[in-house]
Amino acid sequence: MFVFNRQFEKRAPARHLLAVLLALGSMAAHADGMSLAEAYKVISTRKFVDLTQSFSPSTPVWQGFGQASFTTASDPKTYRPYSLEQDGFRTTYYSMVGQYGTHVDPPAHFHAKGITMDRIPLKEMILPLVVIDITPLLAKDPNHALTVQDIQAWEKKNGRVPAGAFAALRTDMSKDWTTNPERFKRHPFPAWSLAAIKFLFEQRNITAIGHESMDTDTTPTMESQKWVLEQGHYQIEVMAHLDQVPPTGALIVVSWPKVENGFGFPARAFAILP
């Protein structure tokens, strides 16, 4: 039984953050367990980091999709745009592909029998977060693809990648999102290798991956992205601010609109730091 106390609130180590969140539903009903209010006190004292890029009609997107269009929504009968002055409210009509900005790729994006975004379990939307930083390797190899050896070297410093984790690849590409969008769209780019992807899912049993680029890898067949989605996993693309998150100890919370039978949509992700 997990019993809350004030000392825990003051010095709860990173590994207990997930325990706090997982305890909410199961322990709230127990008189000697952690209440929702007490659990929230622990979480609310932590730093939150937004892992999501803002997007607009001019932000980078795969050339096969084209830019988004944001227009003022209009009355369908009169075609007059709504305004605060005349109607007391304003709203926007968004026209864009689902894979726009920071977004979720569910298995159905690549796999005919894969689950759609509305069927991804809620429990997979809050996970332990590990950040694998390959920026030190990019000076010699600007398009380095994460290898199994890179992961093993990371584990020597940070410990074994925990089962059920969300693994994020830090490349600092996100810094070009607004300052140099043409560079952001470059190809090739630092990415995942298929061997590293398979190692993380099959040997470390992670739940999902994320990266700063618009694709998982730079192979002509998109072999890493295809494998991830065909194996029933989801991924988050165009992540931001991974440089503000430690290698281990944080949690990621990620969500998206519940589009019925959706193949992808802009997502909101953030980290809770230890």
Write out pLDDT tens, residues 69-79: 999 999 999 99
Burial of 251 (0-12, 13-18, 19+ CB in 10 A): buried
Amino acid at 111: H
- Please write the tens of the pLDDT for every residue from 150-173: 999 999 999 999 999 999 999 999
Q: State pLDDT tens for residues 122-144.
A: 999 999 999 999 999 999 999 99
User: How high is the mean pLDDT of the chain?
Assistant: 91
Range scoring the smallest mean pLDDT among 6-15, 164-173, 226-235: 6-15
Identify whether the C-beta of residue 233 lies closer than 8 Å to the C-beta of residue 200. no
* Strand-strand pairing, 92-95 and 250-255: unpaired
**Sequence-distant (≥ 6) Cβ neighbours of residue 88 within 8 angstroms:** none
